[in-house]
Every structure is written in structure tokens, then in C-alpha cells.
Structure 1
Amino acid sequence: MSGAPRPLRIWAVSDGRAGIEAQVLGLGEAIARRRPALVAPKRIAWRWGLGRLPWRLIPPAARAGDPIAAPWPDIWIGAGRATLPLSTRILAWSGGKTFVVQAQDPKAPLARFDVVVPPTHDGLSGPNVVPILGAPNRITPETLALAQARFAERLDALPRPRIALIVGGRSKAHDLPADHARRIARDVRTAVERTGGALMVSFTRRTPTAAREAMTAALAGLAGWIWDGAGENPYFAFLAAADAILVTEDSTNLATDAAATGKPVFVLPMKGHSAKLARFHADLAAQGIAAPFAGAFEAPAYAPLAETDRAAQEILLRYDGEP
């Protein structure tokens, strides 16, 4: 009697930034929920500042970071600019045996990949393109429950409604100057005080220091928890414990994570504008998932966004050779 087939070997490849790594790990873990698989994160860097060059000009020999060598994985999942010098070559290196998936719009010839998983708002199309609303993530009911349990002693004591405020920051299209951050914080504080609830605040690495300090000062004394960056990040726990979630408009990841909970999601404006992100938020609004914050936390119910699972299912179908 033959034994069970070996687990799929999946490499989740990124530059290690939290938001990018979450996308490749999220897709890998979603595949592993459907079929036995071992998901290994791989972090890529480039020596001598070569990572700033167009991917075609970066010699693979200049790579730093985790080992990338045979035996090759069954499935390669890459995301981010740093992975492109490798993602675009792995099909050839593996003799076509590695199934290559690239999250986001690679801005490279689509024929170099077996599947590309971009956000719908990028407008990318092609026979091997599987667009999704938002970005892949690691949110499941189980991950949320486990995260909340780790911080239960502190979170369970907070009055309801519990509001999570997830703050992004500076990007190519957006910024969060201190005066704007202070204004957001005051509006949120007024709304939370009106409900008698609590506020849980998580900043990201992109949040400018001045904005973080301004918001922390404006929210001082309010019931809740402003994470100061020390110790384990309670981000998932905040999403799990929240009755409603506020996110800044600068990030696909933050809004997608919030939408995966099925809880009311409200979007906070920042300085700047992105046409692509505006389309994304319009798509969320059209599906009844998110709305601009207008001082209240009630919203109609919606089904939790499960685009990562849908993409994983499609990847496996194509891996198996099904149309």
C-alpha cells in the first residue's frame, strides 16, 4: 500500500516587510488549508543598492537574504518588487516544475508566471490573471480567536462598543501630517465618548512619528489601549475584539484585513489622493463592506471578505491543470 502523497512545498517569497509578507503567507496558508502543504517564508534582499534598479537589470548573483536554490518548491508565491528578478526566472530554473504565483501587479511580462493575483482596482487582465478585491491576508476566524485569547486579560475588561483604530501613514500618494492626525483623533474621540465604549489603537511602521505623538496626546485618558510598539503586536487581537473598525485610506492591506472580519468598517481620509485606492474603496462601498467615517459606528451586516480563500482555490485548480 502506498503512503499518502507528500505535502506540497510552498515558498512564500517577499522582502520581509510586514504587509508584503502577509500577502504571500496568506495565500500559502490558504492553500495549506485545502491540501497538505509546508509553507516556508523566504526573505529577499539585494546587495549594493541594486534593488532600486529595474528587475531586468538586477543580476541574481547579487541576491542576499534567505537561500534560494534547488530543490525547488512545488509552488512559489512572490510579492513585491524585490522578488521579481527571481520570480521571473524560477520557471526556467526549475525546468517548468515549479508553479509560479505572483501577488500584486508585477509590471513584468505575464507569461513569466503561471498565475498573477492582483487587486481588482489595478485593472490587470489576462488568461493567467486572478484579480481579487483587496489583497491576500492571513485573517481567519481561528487566527482572530487565538490572537484575542492571547490578550484576553486586558481586552475583556474594556467597555463596549470596542472600536479599533488602525493607522497607516506616509506613502507615494498619501501623508499624515500631525495637524491632520490630531483632527482625526479628536473626531474619533468624540464619537467613542458618545458611545461610552473603548478605543484600541494600532499604528503601522509607516505612521510618521509626529502623527503618532499627536494622536496619542489627543486620545490620552480615553478608555482603551494605544499600543506603543512594545512587546507583541496586538493588531489581530484588536480586529478580533472590535465591534467596529476604523482604517486610514492609504492601505489596501488594512482595509482588506478589516473587511475579512465581517465587522463594520469605516475609512478615514488622509492628505493626498490615489485613483487606484479610490476605486478600491468604491468597490468596498458598492458591496456594503465599508463607508467613510461620519461619526457613528453602526452599519448593515455583510459577509466577511474571503478573497484569499477564493484565490487559493483558483491557484490549486490551475496547479492541477484544470481550466
Structure 2
Amino acid sequence: MSVAIIAEDFAGMRAQASGLVERAGLDWHFHPVRIEGIWRRLPTRFCPAPLRATAPIDLPSSTGLLVSVGGTGGAVAAAVRKRTGLKLVQIQNPRMAAHHFDLIIANVHDAIAGPNIVSVRTALHGMTKAKLDLARARWHERLAVPGKALLSVLIGGANGRFSFGVDDANTLADRLIGIMGHAEVAVALTPSRRTDAEALAVLKARLASHPAWIWDGEGENPYHGILACADAIAVTTDSVSMISEAVATEAPVMIIDLPGRSRRISAFVQILAEADRVRPFTGEWAPWAVTALDDTGRGADEMIRRLAL
């Protein structure tokens, strides 16, 4: 049996679905949702015929389960479920009636409940202990600075709710330089595709004379290694996915506040803060003892149990 993942073609959505499916020990194939015409301007759940509004979704005969992500993916997958009779697992709040799905796995901060809903504290992902162990072995010599702890820094960017510009980059640089000046700490920093080029240039210039390594986008992506080798992690508040992957490690995680506001992300961070899994990034080097927090495995276990896979 294989699993059809149905979602908009965003890396974060694909990572959540593939992470869940792989934890369940299943193979998957991806079917991107590309809404066309006037329906691109309206929530897909209002579309009377979602399968006519998107590019064709053709499933191989081996498909035994559907997994959808987000509101648009959920609306299209619900139509596929109706057409095929296959069971459907929805990731994230679908913003439509729960009876369209056999199982919904949503974050606690989405504040939805029901007999077919499983609540998880973190976004689903594929960052397993085995992958982290492998990444640590591959990246330790490249990232380690003798005699210094490693602070890994994950930078996002503008997403419609938060921003990260030149002023924010200067503030972050001041704090990182302060940490490196007062403690035996080196920095490894990776931007995301959303990171503003001018803000990144500021970080590169300001940190150039310090024990800081910044990925330039060339060669092998160091993301897994930066997570695996960290003694502590600082991550910008704009990304639930990055924060979720960070807290799946055994390193304490500090949240870099950014200009902007999101009720959902604030609620998510608060849940992790109440478990003392994250703390605000203040520019002080003060790691604390933590344990890895990852609800992806529980989501996969519930999927297997409830759907008798």
C-alpha cells in the first residue's frame, strides 16, 4: 500500500505529510494542488467542484490511503475521498466540517476537538533521532570550533505576519556578538528561502570577524547538521515548522522575536514555553536541561491504530 499526499506544493506542507507517513513505515507519492481560475481568490472549501478547479490528480493503483495538508489540500482531498472511497487523513485544521475526513491531526493551538481529531503540540516533520545522529556524524568536524559550544541560529523571514529586515538583522547581530564576546561560543547560522537578502548581508558583514559560520546557499544544505550539532538553538518566531524541528533535538531552544503578530503562532510558542522547552532569546548564554519534544510519532501511532493500517 502506498499513500497519496495531496497538498499545495510548499516544502513545509510536503515535509509534514511525508514525515507522518514515513513514521508509519509507509511509502508515499506527492500530488500537488494547483487551483485554477477564479477559485484562486476564494477559499477552496467554498468551491462546488474542487476537482474541476485544480490540475488532474491521478492516483496509482497501489494507493490505499490519502493524506492532505492545509485548507486547500483538504478540500481537494475530501473530493478525492468521495470519488474513490479511500480513507483520508488531514493534517492541520481543514476549516471545514470534520466528517469529511477519517482522521484529522491538528495542533493544540488550533483549538479544535472531536472524535476523529488528534491534537499534537508540534508541527509534524521528518526530523528523527536517526537522521540527527547521522547528520551529527557528517557535520561535526565542519561545524565544531575547538573549545567552544555551538549556538545554531535558524532565520526565517517575511511571511505576511512577521518581518525580518535590516534593523532586525542588526539587533540580532548585536546579541550574537555579545554572546560570543562573553562566553566560549561559536555560531552556525542558516537562512531560509524567505530571508531578506539585505538582512542576510548585514549578518554576514557584522559577524565576519567573529567565530560565526553562515551558510551561503552553495553546496550541501547544512540544516540537519546545524540542528544535530547544536548545544543550543535560536530560531525566529515566524515558522512553526522550524521551531518544531528544533525542539525535536536535545538542545534548548530560544525564540527570536520578530516584528509582527500571529495568534496561532503565539499560542504555539506559549504551549512550548509552559513545558519549558523554549525560552525567549535575550542575548544571554544560559542553556538549560531539556528533553526532545516531538509529537510526530504519536500522530503516526494514532493514525495506524484508528485506521487499522
Where does structure 1 lack aligned partners over 5 or more consecutive residues? 1-7
- Name 2:286's counterpart in structure 1: 298
- Name 1:31's counterpart in structure 2: 24
- Name 1:205's counterpart in structure 2: 193
Deviations along 1:70-97, one digit per CA (max 9) or x if unpaired, are 53622222113442342121221222xx
Residue 238 of structure 1: how far off its partner (Å): 0.1
Deviations along 1:218-239, one digit per CA (max 9) or x if unpaired, are 2222223201112221111100
- Name 1:139's counterpart in structure 2: 127
Determine if contact 1:164/1:201 at 8 Å carries over to the other structure: yes
Q: Which of 68, 72, 84 is matched with 1:94 structurally?
A: 84
The answer to whether structure 1 residue 273 and structure 2 residue 232 are counterparts is no
- Name 2:113's counterpart in structure 1: 125
Q: Which of 203, 208, 214 is matched with 1:220 structurally?
A: 208
Structure 2: which amino acid aligns with 1:79? V
CA distance in 2, matches of 1:148, 1:75: 34
Q: Which moved more, 1:188-197 or 1:49-58?
A: 49-58
Q: Residues 233-312 of structure 1 correspond to what in structure 2 (within 5 A)?
A: 233-312=221-300
Secondary structure class of the residue paired with 1:102? strand
Secondary structure class of the residue paired with 2:158? coil
Structure 1: which amino acid aligns with 2:20? L
The answer to whether structure 1 residue 103 and structure 2 residue 91 are counterparts is yes
Structure 2: which amino acid aligns with 1:140? T
- Name 1:75's counterpart in structure 2: 65
- Name 1:41's counterpart in structure 2: 30
- Name 2:3's counterpart in structure 1: 10
CA distance in 2, matches of 1:51, 1:9: 29
Aligned residues: 307
Q: Which moved more, 1:23-32 or 1:139-148?
A: 139-148
Residue 213 of structure 1: how far off its partner (Å): 1.8
CA distance in 2, matches of 1:190, 1:49: 52
CA distance in 1, matches of 2:155, 2:190: 6
Secondary structure class of the residue paired with 2:117? coil
Q: Which of 217, 224, 230 is matched with 1:229 structurally?
A: 217
The answer to whether structure 1 residue 188 and structure 2 residue 176 are counterparts is yes
CA distance in 1, matches of 2:194, 2:279: 23
Secondary structure class of the residue paired with 1:271? coil
CA distance in 2, matches of 1:273, 1:53: 23
Determine if contact 1:10/1:75 at 8 Å carries over to the other structure: yes
Determine if contact 2:3/2:64 at 8 Å carries over to the other structure: yes
Deviations along 1:134-175, one digit per CA (max 9) or x if unpaired, are 200111111112223333441245652011000111122211
Shift of the 183–168 alpha-carbon distance from structure 1 to 2, 3 Å rule, reads: same
Structure 1: which amino acid aligns with 2:255? V
Determine if contact 2:3/2:66 at 8 Å carries over to the other structure: yes
CA distance in 2, matches of 1:137, 1:227: 22
Shift of the 216–38 alpha-carbon distance from structure 1 to 2, 3 Å rule, reads: same
TM-score using structure 1 length: 0.88
Determine if contact 1:79/1:104 at 8 Å carries over to the other structure: yes
Residue 39 of structure 1: how far off its partner (Å): 2.4
Shift of the 178–87 alpha-carbon distance from structure 1 to 2, 3 Å rule, reads: same
- Across the aligned residues of Structure 1 and Structure 2, the Cα RMSD in angstroms comes to 2.1
